[in-house]
Structure 1
Amino acid sequence: MENQPKPVKELTYNQAIGELDSILRTMQSDSCDIDKLTAYTRRATELLRECRSRLTATDEELRSILEGLENN
């Protein structure tokens, strides 16, 4: 993880998932720095919230599009 990570809102969904994967691998490794565990957890939580929000928004948009097809 970088010293100054990019704001979560500026990441693409794939970048956010990639960073989450990287954080997870770091936290699961034997060399995980316990002093950074809180920062890793905080960042992972931010990333998860943003990904969940984007997935929910995409799901709602797709449902709306499909509903429009059914009504035609």
Structure 2
Amino acid sequence: MTESTPPQAPSDGYAAALAELQKILDALEAPDVDVDALASHVDRAAELLRFCRERLVAAETQVTEIVAGLEDLATESDTPEAASAADPDG
């Protein structure tokens, strides 16, 4: 697999990728590790790690945008114009 090839995503998403990574790790740490399958296990683990990293970055970006929107909303409600608009007598 080349660096430009997108990682093959597990059908069940991030949690499934982590579970598959754990299975691969367990297989690699076993005393009777199959040397013939070693390279394919490491290659698949690399795909899964890239997939997980992409999902984490996407989630972080989304959370940052949500928090920024909430901060903007809080800032707007703290302005005098917002206070007078909320107070019909003001």
TM range (shorter): 0.7 to 0.9
The residue aligned with 1:21 is 22
Mapped to 1, the partners of 2:21 and 2:12 lie a distance apart of: 12
The residue aligned with 1:51 is 52
Mapped to 2, the partners of 1:29 and 1:10 lie a distance apart of: 26
**TM-fit CA distance, 1:10:** 2.5
The residue aligned with 1:34 is 35
Would you say how many aligned residue pairs link Structure 1 and Structure 2?
Answer: 66
**TM-fit CA distance, 1:61:** 0.3
Which has the larger share of helix? Answer: 1
Q: Which runs of 5+ in 1 are unaligned?
A: 1-6
Label 1:25 to 1:9 Cα distance change in 2 as closer, same or farther (>3 A): closer
**TM-fit CA distance, 1:71:** 0.4
Mapped to 2, the partners of 1:47 and 1:11 lie a distance apart of: 12
RMSD: 1.1
Q: Which has the higher contact order (CA 8 A, sep 6+)?
A: 1
Q: Provide the TM-score with structure 2 as the length reference.
A: 0.70
Q: Which has the larger radius of gyration?
A: 2
Secondary structure in 1 matching 2:44: helix
Mapped to 2, the partners of 1:14 and 1:30 lie a distance apart of: 27
Q: Which residue identity lines up with residue 28 of structure 1 in the other structure?
A: E
